[in-house]
A and B are shown apart, each in its own frame.
Chain A
Amino acid sequence: GAVVSQHPSRVICKSGTSVKIECRSLDFQATTMFWYRQFPKKSLMLMATSNEGSKATYEQGVEKDKFLINHASLTLSTLTVTSAHPEDSSFYICSARGGTGHQPQHFGDGTRLSIL
């Protein structure tokens, strides 16, 4: 149980392109989804937290107009990197959490984004 699917796993595109990454909870309803960015051999940096049907809460320093997050249903959240540039190249990971209390976050497999 608690499977999170993230798609695509790898994206290579030209500078200026907008890229959408999907995160789906396959066998549970995700009340909260999280988006992270990770640099090689480093820890996960939380970018934003999203709850279904409401606006995402962005961490300090994360540009909300650059990284658009939509959490339209209890099983789907999307991250759109708008007008991507080489400095946006990174590994992006989503996670989902169903319920409250002791419920842990379950992670997707991540998306490697490379901007040429």
Chain B
Amino acid sequence: AQTVTQSQPEMSVQEAETVTLSCTYDTSENNYYLFWYKQPPSRQMILVIRQEAYKQQNATENRFSVNFQKAAKSFSLKISDSQLGDTAMYFCAFMKHETEGKLTFGQGTILTVHP
């Protein structure tokens, strides 16, 4: 079974600064996908970024980028130029490469961006 660990229950950052959220996982699979989802106070789950394990290049989506270290089983999210709208709970998630697509979520990190 897979496990996903987010060791930072809460984080805070000043507007316009950079913050990194940590995520580690444990799996015996070689081919899988990793995701970061954002859940703002409105409670909707929004896909922020995804990474395919067989790709060495780190994924980037505008101000969001990941540091994917496959050997270390680490998948951190970096948010640059933080904005007030980035305030949310962030979940790291793991998905095996299979047809069903079941996600294993981490515990979540509450990020607060201060003006």
Contacts and interface: CB of A to CB of B under 8 A. Distances in A.
A100 B99 contact: yes
A34 B102 contact: yes
B105 to A, nearest CB: 5
Given A102-B33, A104-B50, A109-B43, A42 B108 contact: yes
B44 A109 contact: yes
Interface residues on A, range: 20 to 34
Contacts of B100: 32, 49
A103 B99 CA distance: 9
A95 interface: yes
B49 to A, nearest CB: 10
Given A104-B35, A110-B44, A46 B91 contact: no
B103 interface: yes
A37 interface: no
Interface string B13-57: 000000000000000000001010100001111110010100000
